Amino acid sequence: MGREDMILTVKTTAQTELVDITAEVQKVVRTSDVGDGLCMVYVPHTTAAVTINESADPSVKADILMVLNKIIPWDAGYRHLEGNSAAHVKSSLVGASELIAIEKGGLVLGTWQGIFFCEFDGPRTRKVHVKVLHLPS
Ligand code: ZN
């Protein structure tokens, strides 16, 4: 008790895509029976990431992808022979993990916040590790 590990599977359907995984992460937290603690969401991939942003208006995730695709074009004379350097750069910029507070058994997220898995070289089947840590009060 007090610690729960869970690996979520995310199937993406486009080359670049933001997938709202808030409900799945919240479910792991709720079933872990941790009152106060921390939830780490970690993506073990070099061409994907995780971020927290507005989930109410889907235009926001579209705009995030639009800007990332604009500032990090797919073709830009990269050296990496696999041909997916843009995805690697996006992965590092956005980041592989998020840490979210848990209070009263649930994630502390703002009204408009959601947790998004970020696909940058899809479509693929991806993993997201969710670790719930209990903080004794
Ligand atoms: Zn590569």
Q: How far is the CA of 8 from the centre of ligand 1 (A)?
A: 23
pLDDT digits (tens, 9 = 90+) for 41-62: 999 999 999 999 999 999 999 9
* Ligand 1 center–CA 66 separation, angstroms: 21
Domain count within the chain: 1
HEC per residue, 15-73: CCEEEECHHHHHHHHHHHCCCCEEEEEECCCCCEEEEEEECCCHHHHHHHHHHHHHHCC
**What predicted TM-score, i.e. pTM, was given to this entire model?**
0.94
pLDDT over threshold 60, residue 72: yes
For residue 4, what pLDDT is reported? 59
Q: Which pLDDT tens digit goes with each residue over 89-121?
A: 999 999 999 999 999 999 999 999 999 999 999
CATH of residue 48: 2.60.120.460
pLDDT above 80: residue 27: yes
Ligand 1 centroid–CA 82 distance in Å is 5
Range of the domain at 37: 3-134
